Amino acid sequence: MSKKFLSNKYKKSISTPMGEVVELANKYSDIINLSLGDPDFVTDGEIIEKAFIDTQNGCTGYADSTGDPELIEEIKSFYNDSYKYGVNDGEVMSVVGACHGMYLALESIIDDGDEVIIPEPYFTPYYNQIELVRGVPVTVETKEEDGFRLKAENLEEVITEKTKAIVINSPNNPTGACLSKEDLIEISKVVIKYDLVVIADEVYSGFSFVEKFFPIGSLPGMKERTITLGSFSKDYAMTGWRIGYVIAEKYIIDCIRDINEGICFSAPSMSQRAAIHGIRNRDKILSPMAQEYKKRVEYAHARINKIPELSVTKPQGTFYLFVNIKGTGMSSVEYSKYLLEKSKVLVIPGIAFGENCDDYVRIACTVGVLELEEAFNRMESAVVSRS
């Protein structure tokens, strides 16, 4: 098929291994899908009911460009009460999910050729979005033996005169790693030393199982140089509502608002009303999900380490496991296809999360323990059938 009307920059396919493997799933039946991080929980009934009432009462038009005032106030109060963050008026904006927020944040701060450091493994869209805003992605590898936690000394090694920002994602997708307060203090020293901006992706803040989540922006000297990305997708099982937020200095929020005027003006009114009812009932909604995910990842961790050729470090948060497949002798794409064909279990190749990640696959525990048990039984049988 001719691609003559495409922009030159897109004539070469930008499909990722993640997308390619997921497309393969359509060819099979009886799939156990451990690929995409879409929670299997339905949005809390009270959120749905109250958002529906708000919609019936007329919340169907454009929201304010920076967000529903009630939602903005709830987000401010949550961060200030929970983390002593010191969020002020004009420093929060609602967006259409954290990916939308990430693009707006990058577009607001990156000039052509600016370098943005992303710890690897990384959430796949980071790399593409940095390139989209004409920045240069620079990866810094984290090691399995370090629990995939970024070390300040490794960060400092890749900083150049062109470095503008660093992306911090904790709890981490795809590894489940969590940065401790001590880790963040050491990273913040480097950030301040080189006058950098931190884009803090805190989408999984509710799923930190070992230590209480701690935001880097609440450290001394960091609020003014941190852009925080939050989302209702995972903590509230609201992926389909497409609602998130950005916290940053007012001049950055003002710029983001102006950029977004040419994109979608505001986040959906109905979704923002749902988010209000979610955050007001956060503990009631989040706690059962967090306990369930913790149970699942602990079960998955134990089972995977009993399967020949596979191993995995215990995740400290999220519902992901980054499984070491070196023992299979296969690449991550080969092993993912093998699992799909032999076991009808769908996972994501590690190469989707960085060029140094081909010895891994990502598993999302977005199904219950019984289905996970069946998935691992199939994976174990696949090892036996290949030996």
Model confidence over 75-120: pLDDT tens digits? 999 999 999 999 999 999 999 999 999 999 999 999 999 999 999 9
Higher-pLDDT residue of 2 and 18 is 2
Chain region(s) in the chain for CATH 3.40.640.10 = 45-281
Chain region(s) in the chain for CATH 3.90.1150.10 = 8-43+284-386
Q: Can you tell me the mean pLDDT for 126-151?
A: 97
According to DSSP, residue 317 is labeled B
pLDDT in tens, 338-376: 999 999 999 999 999 999 999 999 999 999 999 999 999
pLDDT in tens, 175-214: 999 999 999 999 999 999 999 999 999 999 999 999 999 9
DSSP E strand stretches across the chain: 32-33, 92-95, 115-120, 136-141, 163-169, 197-201, 226-231, 244-247, 320-324, 345-346, 348-349, 360-364
Tokens of 290: 């967090």
Q: Which residues of 20-57 are buried (b: 16+ CB within 10 A; e: fewer)?
A: ebbeeeeeeeebbbbbebebebebbeebeebbeebeee
CA distance 254 to 211: 34
Q: List all residues 6 or more positions away from 40 whose beta carbon is below 8 Å from its beta carbon.
A: 366, 367, 368
pLDDT of residue 28: 79
Omega before 288 within 30 of 0, i.e. cis: no
- Which residue type does 324 have? N
Measured N-to-C along each axis, helices 45-56 and 269-280 cross at an angle, to the nearest 10 degrees, of: 140
Kindly indicate the confidence band of residue 384, based on its pLDDT and cuts at 50, 70 and 90.
Answer: low
pLDDT of residue 42: 97
Is residue 92 within 8 Å of residue 72, measured between CB atoms?
yes
pLDDT of residue 21: 62
Cα four-point dihedral sign 32, 127, 123, 108: negative
The architecture CATH gives domain 45-281: 3-Layer(aba) Sandwich (3.40)
pLDDT of residue 272: 98
CA 55 to chain centre: 29
Percent of the chain with pLDDT over 90: 90
CA distance 313 to 344: 24
Q: Can you tell me the mean pLDDT for 61-75?
A: 97
Nearest of 254, 174, 170 to residue 210 by alpha carbon: 170
Q: Can you tell me the mean pLDDT for 25-33?
A: 83
Q: What are the angstrom distances between the C-alpha of 274 and each of 77, 90, 240, 300, 383?
A: 17, 21, 12, 32, 45
Q: Can you tell me the mean pLDDT for 10-33?
A: 75
User: How many Cβ atoms are within 10 Å of 70's Cβ, its own excluded?
Assistant: 14
Kindly indicate the confidence band of residue 385, based on its pLDDT and cuts at 50, 70 and 90.
Answer: low
pLDDT of residue 17: 67
Q: Which of 10-19, 109-118, 298-307 has the lowest mean pLDDT?
A: 10-19
CA distance 343 to 355: 26
pLDDT of residue 10: 81
Please state, rounded to an integer, the average pLDDT across all residues of the chain: 95
pLDDT in tens, 235-263: 999 999 999 999 999 999 999 999 999 99
Tokens of 306: 């009993």
- Domain 8-43+284-386 maps to which CATH number in 3.20.20.70, 3.30.450.60, 3.30.300.160, 3.90.1150.10? 3.90.1150.10
Q: Can you tell me the mean pLDDT for 141-152?
A: 97
Q: List all residues 6 or more positions away from 368 whose beta carbon is below 8 Å from its beta carbon.
A: 40, 296
Tokens of 36: 């995409």
- The pTM score is 0.96
Q: Can you tell me the mean pLDDT for 33-42?
A: 93
pLDDT of residue 284: 96
